[in-house]
Structure 1
Amino acid sequence: MNFEITQDQLMLKEGVRKIANDFGLEYWREKDAKHEFVHELWSELGKNGYIGVSISEEYGGVGLGLVEMAMVIEELSKAGAGSTVGQLFMLTPIFGGITIERHGSEVQKREYLPKIASGEMNFCMALTEPNAGSNSLEITTFARKEGDHYIINGQKTWISGVNVADKMLLVARTTKKEDVQRKTDGISLFLVDSKDSAIVTQPIEKVGTHCVQSDEVFIENLKVHKDNLIGEEGKGWRYLVDTLNAERIVTTAGLVGTGELALKLAVDYSKERVVFNNTPIGAYQGIQFPLAELSAEINVAQLMNYKAAWLYDQSIPNGAEANTAKLIAGKAAFGLCDRAMQVLGGFGYAKEYHVERIWRDVRLFKIAPVSEEMILNFIAQHNLGMPRSY
């Protein structure tokens, strides 16, 4: 593959950078304080084609790929959004756009994709359950077939963005686990109305990522027409894994941008802050070396993420690359935010200087959407061929 950034990609980055700078650090600080979704920014991104960057032109998108989406997210993140913007692209362009375009019916594509691309329609995904976190095969939410409809019951947790979502990608079993030959059989994906009265939500109080609300979701006798099934009944695990790899890539792009933002905040402060013998603290190797090392790591994560995204765009297996990039980026981005807080000292703890927000937000992504430990399990088993450990 060719890692050279094209002229068109540079123009894409420049265009979104202008919007990103208009919605900079102060905008995100205010939204974080009010626990508000960034409707103004999202609307602007939709009007200018950035939400639909990877959706085919046939369905109202720009017709590029996940590589370009990663670049868009990086620019937004490093201009002030931090890691939260990766979640925004995860919710609608990935859970909605990618899943429908790659696995949905033609009717679903024509109904949903233009509205996703324009920013008119928001999505969320309901996968995680109280007793089925990383082990998604243990979900118990069940869809019972009745004529032309399914009746769905179950409970989900840590469902992000459901409060502003029009539609939900709902993951449920259509065959109980004890009745299938393989655990990956019998799982199906549904497109449902997130505002349906059969769906009740309850917000979860949390440390950060306040612009994207997370909820408990309770589903009781939700009636869904068979036309809202994604692909084949019982074959949803394959579609889900494809979606989750894309989820890793956009998460990593947000982490790369966050690392660059934290680095800039730390470096700028270190040049201005003078102590002792009228020397900027940035002149001291105790300040320089940790930042330099973490900067190298975030650059490596970016390159691996571009590789994962390129493979994804070519429909080539990319799980190893996507997971590796996310592991490195999660560690490096958190390290840079934490080091930025240390460089700024007391001011790093003050909301005025922005570091504390991105520090709070980025901590989540050592856990979500997949934990570092589960990535290491994946690498050991799939990359190294070692015995399954769980």
Structure 2
Amino acid sequence: MDICLSEDHETIRENVRKVCDQFDDEYWSRCDQEKTFPFEFHRAMADAGWLGITMPEEFGGANLGVTEAAIMMHEVACSAGGYSAASTLHLNIFGPHAVVVNGTPEQKERMLKPLIDGTDRACFGVTEPDAGLDTTSITTFATKVPGGYRVTGRKIWTSSGQVANKILLLTRTTPKDQCKKPTDGMTLFYTDLDKSQVEVRRIPKMGRNAVDSNATFIDDYFIPDEDRIGEEGKGFHYILHSLNPERILVGIEAVGLGRGALARASRYAGERKVFGRLIGENQGIQHPLAENWTYLESAYWMIMRAANLYDQGKPCGAEANAGKFLGGRAAFDACTRAVMTHGGMGYSTEYQVERLFRESILLRIAPITEQMILSFIAEKVLDLPKSY
């Protein structure tokens, strides 16, 4: 058992870092304060070939695994951009997986290439106001008409909807009460997001303001047959393929965010003098930071184990969910400690840790809450009765 990064993995890490280092604190503070999408960063990562890290080579991708994607996304989140930088990219990694697995050759050619080269930007239309994490209860409905479907419904927390020109959209094509199983009767589309016909309304929020979140209103919107992914009624099963990679990537991004905050706190503690001595000489400062390191490190290797299992085609649901849980907690604690270590200056924007702190709380909530993860592990690992 060799628990370390390979030479190729180190090369990925170093080359991703080179791109990220071109975008400093000032750039990310401006994007956050002005609520501006980081177009320049997105373009730089596309030009360097990173947007297609898990995509098939024939469409311009690198055909690497989730392990390599995790290494990449950890380095992105560890950079000055934090979780905003990661959110700029990560839909490209797990979102189009349904197209890769279930799309026709024509769809793959048409849909994947523009995502990989950065021409297209996609958003994810799954969550709804009255369904939340209960995806089987979505009500956005696609009615079959000649040549396609007419879709009506509402989505919420649609990330990057303001700048996206494509949407991966989950709908119902059969009402839930008419299906044998709640997971039946849902259909997946990857289609144009025409904002002259679909209202995408930005949601004001606490953090990660460089990447917008939205309420999306769809009213009798036509989607052509050629934009349906796979069979009608099988959409829920298609997105399941993306859930474990999503947990893995969000978890590793959390660890990267936490490590970035911890590095800032440690640097400050090694420079700041109070009462004639460095604050980093005090165990009251040292010990909490050292504890943050231990939790971030343990989360990192749990997530890398999950990624390795996924790439081997082995079950990894427990590990992926546990890794996301540990990463989210460890990131929040590290970012909180970074603010506290800076004292009053931690509350200012100058040292950036307040920005990272505001992002860190999201990683305990989305894309799945801690409570849902614990319920999953209780049922699937500990063989306890389902609680909901």
Is the TM value for this pair above 0.5?
Answer: yes
Deviation, 1:151, is 1.0
Q: Give 1:60-99 correspondences, 5 Å limit.
A: 60-96=60-96, 98-99=97-98
Q: Which residue number in structure 1 is paired with residue 304 of structure 2?
A: 306
- Mapped to 2, the partners of 1:356 and 1:312 lie a distance apart of 35
**TM-score after normalising by structure 1:** 0.96
**TM-score after normalising by structure 2:** 0.97
CA contact (8 A) 2:254 2:327 kept: yes
Assess, with a 3 A threshold, how the Cα gap between structure 1 residues 119 and 196 changes in structure 2: closer, same or farther. Answer: same
Supply the AA of the counterpart residue of 1:226. D
State yes or no: 1:328 paired with 2:352: no
| Correspondent of 1:374 among 363, 372, 375 | 372
Deviation, 1:91, is 2.3
Q: Give 1:3-42 correspondences, 5 Å limit.
A: 3-42=3-42
Supply the AA of the counterpart residue of 1:308. A
Supply the AA of the counterpart residue of 2:109. R
Q: Which residue number in structure 1 is paired with residue 255 of structure 2?
A: 256
CA contact (8 A) 1:43 1:119 kept: yes
Deviation, 1:66, is 1.3
CA contact (8 A) 2:262 2:335 kept: yes
**Structure 1 residues 20-79: Cα deviation after superposition (integer angstroms, max 9, x where no partner):** 111122211111111111110110100111111111211111121111111111112212
Q: Give 1:1-390 correspondences, 5 Å limit.
A: 2-96=2-96, 98-276=97-275, 278-390=276-388
Deviation, 1:310, is 2.0
CA contact (8 A) 1:91 1:122 kept: no
- Mapped to 2, the partners of 1:159 and 1:79 lie a distance apart of 24
CA contact (8 A) 1:77 1:254 kept: yes
Percent of counterpart pairs with the same letter?
A: 39
Does the residue aligned with 2:155 lie in a helix, a strand or coil?
strand
**Structure 1 residues 302-327: Cα deviation after superposition (integer angstroms, max 9, x where no partner):** 11111222222233332211110010
Does the residue aligned with 2:21 lie in a helix, a strand or coil?
helix
- Mapped to 2, the partners of 1:243 and 1:137 lie a distance apart of 16
User: Which structure 1 segments of 5+ residues have no match?
Assistant: none
Supply the AA of the counterpart residue of 1:198. Q
Does the residue aligned with 1:219 lie in a helix, a strand or coil?
strand
Deviation, 1:127, is 0.8
Deviation, 1:2, is 4.7
Assess, with a 3 A threshold, how the Cα gap between structure 1 residues 272 and 70 changes in structure 2: closer, same or farther. Answer: same
CA contact (8 A) 1:327 1:375 kept: yes
Assess, with a 3 A threshold, how the Cα gap between structure 1 residues 2 and 142 changes in structure 2: closer, same or farther. Answer: farther
CA contact (8 A) 2:65 2:311 kept: yes
- Mapped to 2, the partners of 1:229 and 1:77 lie a distance apart of 33
**Structure 1 residues 286-307: Cα deviation after superposition (integer angstroms, max 9, x where no partner):** 1111111121111111111112
Deviation, 1:179, is 0.3
- Mapped to 1, the partners of 2:2 and 2:58 lie a distance apart of 27
Does the residue aligned with 1:168 lie in a helix, a strand or coil?
strand
CA contact (8 A) 2:76 2:86 kept: no
CA contact (8 A) 1:86 1:252 kept: no
- Mapped to 2, the partners of 1:207 and 1:357 lie a distance apart of 10
- Mapped to 2, the partners of 1:88 and 1:310 lie a distance apart of 24
**Structure 1 residues 369-388: Cα deviation after superposition (integer angstroms, max 9, x where no partner):** 11111111111111111111
Question: Bigger CA drift: 374-383 or 187-196?
Answer: 187-196
User: Which structure 2 segments of 5+ residues have no match?
Assistant: none
Deviation, 1:196, is 5.0
**Structure 1 residues 316-345: Cα deviation after superposition (integer angstroms, max 9, x where no partner):** 332211110010000000000000100000
- Mapped to 1, the partners of 2:288 and 2:189 lie a distance apart of 46
CA contact (8 A) 1:180 1:186 kept: yes
**Structure 1 residues 158-215: Cα deviation after superposition (integer angstroms, max 9, x where no partner):** 1111111111000101110010011011111111211253311111111111011111
Supply the AA of the counterpart residue of 2:321. N
Deviation, 1:103, is 2.4
- Mapped to 2, the partners of 1:112 and 1:175 lie a distance apart of 26
- Mapped to 1, the partners of 2:136 and 2:242 lie a distance apart of 15
CA RMSD for the aligned pairs?
Answer: 1.3
